[in-house]
Structure 1
Amino acid sequence: MRGGGVSMFVNNNLKHDVTEEKCLNYNHYLWIHVENYKLDVGVVYRKPDQGDVNSFLETLSQQLNNRKRALIFGDFNINLLTKNRATVIYKEVIQESGYEILNKIDEKYCTRETATTKSIIDHVCSNIKQNKFHVAIIETPMSDHKQIYIEMKRYHQEPLQKVSYQAVDYNLLYNTISQYQSSNFEHTYSILEEKLVNCIKYSKITKYKILNPPRKNWINNTIISHINNRNKLWNAHKRNPDDTNKKDLFINKRNEVTDYIQKTKSKYYFKAFIDCKNQPTKMWELINSLSQNKLKGNNTPKKIQMQNGQTTDDENEICECFNNFFVSVGPILASQVPQKYHPCI
């Protein structure tokens, strides 16, 4: 039986952990997290001539959506040069997960070549935006597949915003007030307010605090508690990286928290859409808010099915479809209203 498998070689200078390793229906998945770059790297092998592509893509989609910054390589045995059903669905899953195929879709950049065929069945994808990748296809005597070489810019995490504010140093305030001595007790109370104001003014110091990103509406106290518990397990694992029990506890808790967050978020937005029923303004506000939270640069749909049944991915045609719809929707709806409800003119 033809089979496969995946492996990954990582430089010892890079701090990394294996975060997921799975084999389902002869399909292999391996993920690591590289701490230095805050990057998840995955490798995938899909068994060729496999009829059920949907189960493979379902597992792949779940893994892609669980990663914030990721690169994924693999022998997918899905030829990007063809337009069959498996290729179309695969491209849709990659795109809907917020990823982009970095291969150049051209026979000149095929990853496997025989005397009669050329194919691109080895792919590299990423959800990292605003990063210029350099991808090259390299000949190798090690395999009948060519190698994929990729370079990317080093990750510089955007720092949280820091703001300054004035606060009272109460020790300094106490000492300042103590220095005010008055022998004229008849006038002490009359100037008490002035003295207090001046003392507070001279006792102020500048402090700084970090502004955390705004909390999403679906983040509740239970999620925060789970995240805090996960962070405690992470700190325990970080202090004792060789302790496999602490590492397993952290990984299990992390996966549990991720799953709980996804379910809570799905329930929240499902209810939000139900509440917007028959309220188009609120519905569009919700859709826009969801679109703006994505990593994509704009809110334009990637593709749309036109009235003639054809599908287009051209942005101008998509905009024209929306314009035609909103221009003609009034008369169409009016024509569907029974005649007895039409106003008499």
Structure 2
Amino acid sequence: MKCINNEFLSADTYKLLKLAKAKAKDINYKYAWVHKGMVYMKKNDDSSKIIIRIEDDPTCMSSNLKFLSLNVNSYTAHTASFELLVTETKPHIISVVETWLNPEISVSLNDYSAIRRDRGFTDESGRYVRGGGVLCFIHKSLKSKVLFISESNHINHPEFIIADVTLSTGSHMLISCIYRRPQGDLLDKFFLEFGKLYPHYNNVLIMGDLNCNLLKSDRASNHLKSFIDDSALFCVPFGSTFHTLETDSWLDVIILVSKDKLVNFSKSKPPFIDGHDFLICEYKLGSQNHYNKVVKFRDFRNCNHQALSQTLNERLRLTDIDPEMIDLDELVYFFLYQVTTSLNIYAPMSERKICRPKCPWITRELKLEFHERDALYKRYKRTGCQNLFSLYKIKRKELKIKLMKVRNDYLKSFLENESNGSNIWTKLRRVGIVKSKQSSPLDHFDADQLNKFYANILKKHLSCSRDFILNLPHLYSKKVNFEFNWSKIDIVDVTKNLQLTLQKSSGKNPDRLDLKWLKDHIPQVSLFLNLIFNRSLETGSFPEAWKSTKVMILGSNRKLKSLANIVLPQIIIDGNLIPYVNTTKHLGVHLSANLSWDFHISQFLRRLFTEEDPEIRRSDRLAAKNNISFKMPNFATTTYEHSFVVTAIRLWKDLPPEIVNVLSLETFKVKLFDFLISNE
């Protein structure tokens, strides 16, 4: 028999292939192989292939787990019915309560391991007291470990088992099987032990007969319902599970960690044993943590940097354009287009699929030793020589120890040598020690709720009227003549700051142009960038292509109606469209990419409702009316000019005369600083 396999197999597929190989030997088949996740067998070269199906083996069902829970009311009396039910349903985990077993009775079930808790105490005559008992069967394809078994021998105390089960995905499940006799003590003891373990598990299962009728609102049922709600668990809605001639009750339960884990559920149509239904539930497993990442990058391996520099010089030549005749946004888009097209020629974008996290501590020498280890195992499989297998195990053990030491040494030196805090976290995420989790408030709140919440905050203080702004200059008198000066930047400033930016940790750029791609071509782009920066300072505006935030316009219904003929940009955060709201007046909300909020007066509303020429700045108008000569830094005034001027004027009115009337600006700054510190 030949085994043909050239794929990396999952644990379940590999297990099925091993079974197929064993079966092929028994029935004298020549070939067994795997193709696209399916296992095939073939008798000889001329025969047709057959597919090995997995329906007969529940252990190969890697996507879901099936649970069975029932009250058997004496295991020995209903063994045949129970085993027939297991054969038909093929569950992975079985909870059996009221087993009525004692230590002298042994039980077993094919392909299942058993965990049991017998009542086990005797009466005055020395006979075992009949009743109670909990039994849990776990399929042998799943590894299990007992965590806690209740030990009390009082008949009214709940009987339960808590165990850890290792799933096929590698994750762990906390399972509990419980029996509480009618009118018995409440489940406080179980809740206490369960609460110690529950926070450490993402998969939780509770099964059993609790004799708490969830169809009623008595003390016992309310106690259980409170536990389910407080623990954020989900009780599978089976409805009535115990039936008598007079009434139906919901006594048997299956409780899961979340409703999302429930695939389907069912119960026996007629009662199975002594009025109790058996319960079946299918549980959805999380997918295995496959590391499958596609990385996009520019491939500079074959880049001709000299030709790239010449192309950038030709395309970014300032003599070919008239900057004064081009809008700032068009100037930036021209720069981005020319640089991107040049990079696409000499360093095109490429994609690479990464199947596992990067392990920088694995050197070439270690990889060669891994290859030698694998070669020993292949030779053993080919020849069956036990000496080769012994050498393989020795080599494998040595490599495990060596790999752990190399990894620890690398991480130790890495943490000792790294001084920049932001770089430490970035590199720790890259090596997989720290997991990055991207979250947003929109994961927990509705966008409308957030808008209303922040709109209410904005309405805490009434917005000022236009007349109030116009009358502000008459509310104070000039005390000091001063002037703010702003000068243009030069090519030296641009080049220096570009070099400093390259040394910082990388981040996402709004224009998707990574500065590291141009680290060898700074002289070619710095002259054009110098032009853009100075143009931005002169016009008091910021290019749209470099904005990482947007402004949400808020206003009254009347004023928003005036925007009907104006196309407002959509505000999209994490793929969610944030609607415009109209619950405040004259105000705007500055919305950043991570939904951090900042209040300011919207530039858009200023342009819309200001009748004066927009080129005449409000700070200049206020200064002119009060015979004060000063200039605001243009790069900041587009967003914060109004609020800054209003705040400055109000502060000036509150200053004492000994500060306002000083003759020197240096003395003024010192006294003002002391005054502000003393008022904090």
Report if TM-score (shorter chain) is over 0.5. no
> TM-score, normalised on structure 1?
0.44
**Larger C-alpha radius of gyration, 1 or 2?**
2
